[in-house]
Amino acid sequence: MHLPEEAWRLCVYIGESDRWQGTPLYEAIVLTARKLQIAGATVLRGPMGFGASSRLHTAKILRLSEDLPIVIEIIDTRDKIDLLMSHIDNMMGDGLVTLEQVQVVRYRAAPKP
């Protein structure tokens, strides 16, 4: 897959306990992105954070199963990001979504044996 030098990064900020049709929301978003042949997606789990409600989410030793922050970063062309956003709008309740233009320096897969 080719990715132009000028691309877009979509960041979706949600909670680890957020669900879509019984599946973790982060998983549903990444699988949807893959199905739409998006260039790439990464899920990052944060040890601490808060959002619009100001409720603190943290990974303390005594609270290992807290609703930790999740960030999904997705990179592709604006057209493909817009297509994915139409799906995410239907899946997401609470959370934050940001979009910014990025410069792609390198995008390549390992050679197949």
Query: Could you read off the pLDDT of 9-65 as tens digits, one per residue?
Result: 999 999 999 999 999 999 999 999 999 999 999 999 987 777 777 677 766 655 555
3 state DSSP class of 84: helix
pLDDT for residue 20: 97
pLDDT for residue 96: 95
Say how far apart CA 110 and CA 103 lie, in whole Å.
Answer: 21
pLDDT for residue 67: 80
Instruction: Let me know if 76 is exposed, middle or buried by CB neighbors in 10 A (0-12, 13-18, 19+).
Output: buried
Q: Write the pLDDT tens digit of every residue in 62-79.
A: 555 568 899 999 999 999
User: Any idea which fold 6-103 has?
Assistant: Alpha-Beta Plaits (3.30.70)
pTM score of the predicted model: 0.86
Residue-range domain boundaries for the chain: 6-103
